[in-house]
Amino acid sequence: MSNQTEAETDLVARAETIASFEHQHTLLSRIQHALHSNPALVPLIVLVASVLVFGALLGTKFFSSFAMTLILQQVAIVGIVGAAQSLVILTAGIDLSVGAIMVLSSVIMGQFTFRLGLPPAVAVACGLAIGTLIGFINGWLIARIKLPPFIVTLGMWQIALASNFLYSGNETIRAQDIEANAPLLQFFGQSFSFGGAVFTYGVIFFILLVLALAYVLRHTAWGRHVYAVGDDPEAAELSGVNTRRILISVYALSGLICAFAGWVLIGRIGSVSPTSGQSANIESITAVVIGGISLFGGRGSILGMFFGALIVGVFSLGLRLLGADAQWTYLLIGALIIGAVAVDQWIRKVSA
């Protein structure tokens, strides 16, 4: 169990031992220990294995830098939302409102530009601010009024989604209009490529976000406090963590990240559409859990979520390419979610 939470930087376990009973260092036991002390390693292995299997089955159609980066593009939004979700779940919470915050923010960015005529930069800032505000309200209700996160964000989900539809009047803003008048909104949709690999700015943002959060969680006091709050809030409070402030900041940050996801979403679909992102909450939770973060808080790493999101992306694309129809794909992804976690569990048991 040691170093459960210490995965990000040192993927090879340290041998720092004050005093130790003599015991054999076989290769297997080393692997087990490495797997064990680095929760992100298991999803990484599942990911690599699934890429190899699909690559073997599908050949270059799948195993090309183009297809690989396409998967990154497809998972970028779920992954960004999943980063927000990871923070919340590390505090033993859950955020069902992530998708709704994302869509509402993107609608605000669009409508503030086109309906109110604000400069795009200001509209984007407003969208980010509103996302943060909703997250802050979630956090405030959870930390101060001590309501269960599930219920608060369930309610907020409905509120944000309904506001989104009411405010947007269900109107879509077309990609061509945005391109002509407010290209800033599509900023994250721009891309560059080398070789066959295509990277959108949204994908770059996703990767940088994950790395930044991994650093913050591992190497700053705030990050350690997030883990402590998720682990045992009462103990954290008694040992000097301002649990309320941590919780509120986590939910507000989650709101901000979701608002960024909304901006990235505009880049991806070109237009501003109030009907997007309705299953983002379930999908982000799936990524988080496949990535090995415990729903009970305090255990797991955000890198795991990153691999978790990619696993889902690899399976979706791989299965479609194998010719499974939509219903079968849906069924197989269900089975594979269970399978991936079962493998994870099995590895952990072996090494226990």
Partner 1 sequence: MEPILSARNLNKRYGRVTALDNCDFDLMPGEILAVIGDNGAGKSSLIKALSGAIKVDSGDIFLDGQAVNFSSPIDARNAGVETVYQTLAMSPALSIADNMFMGREIRKSGFMGKVMRQLDRPAMERIARQKLSDLGLMTIQNINQAVETLSGGQRQGVAVARAAAFGSKVIILDEPTAALGVKESRRVLDLILDVRARDIPIILISHNMPHVFEVADRIHVHRLGRRLCVIDPKDYTMSDAVAFMTGAKAAPGAVASAA
Partner 2 sequence: LITKTDTNPFFVKMKEGAEAKAAELGITLKSFAGRVDGDHETQVAAIETCIADGASGILLTASDTSAIVQSVQQARDAGLLVIALDTPLNPIDAADATFATDNFLAGELIGKWAAGKLGADAANAKIALLNLGISQPTVDVLRNQGFLQGFGIDLADPNKWGDETDPRIVGHDVTAGNEEGGREAMENLLVKDPMINVVHTINEPSAAGAYEALKSFGRENDVLIVSVDGGCPGIANVRDGVIGATSQQYPLQMAALGVEAIKAWADTGVKPEPTPGKDFFDTGVSLVTDEPVDGVESIDTTEGEALCWG
Residues that bind partner 1 (CB under 8 A): 1-6, 14, 16-21, 23, 33, 36, 215, 219-222, 224-225, 227-228, 231-232, 234-242, 298-299, 351-352
Within 260-319, the residues that bind partner 2 by CB under 8 A are 265, 268-279, 316-317
Residue 167 or 215 with smaller CB distance to its own copies = 167
Nearest CA-CA partner of 257 in 208, 219, 301 = 208
DSSP 141-190: HHHTS---HHHHHHHHHHHHHHHHHHHHTTPPBPHHHHHHH-GGGGGGG-
Within 99-158, the residues that bind its own copies by CB under 8 A are 141, 145-148, 150-152, 154-158
CB of 280 to partner 2, least distance (A): 8
322 binds its own copies per the rule CB under 8 A: no
Residue 47 or 317 with smaller CB distance to partner 2 = 317
CB-based contact 197:68 (threshold 8 Å): yes
Cα 118 from chain centroid (whole Å): 31
Single out the residue of 52, 116, 208, 282 in contact with its own copies (rule: CB under 8 A): 282
Cβ burial, residue 321 (10 Å; 0-12/13-18/19+): middle
Residue 61 contact partner, candidates partner 1, partner 2, its own copies, none, CB within 5 to 8 A by sort of partner: partner 2
CB of 340 to partner 1, least distance (A): 22
How far apart (Å, rounded) are the C-alpha atoms in residues 101 and 82?
A: 13
> What's the maximum distance between 2 C-alpha atoms anywhere in the chain?
72
Residue 140 contact partner, candidates its own copies, partner 2, partner 1, none, CB within 5 to 8 A by sort of partner: none
DSSP 314-337: HHHHHHHHTT--HHHHHHHHHHHH
Residue 81 or 229 with smaller CB distance to partner 2 = 81
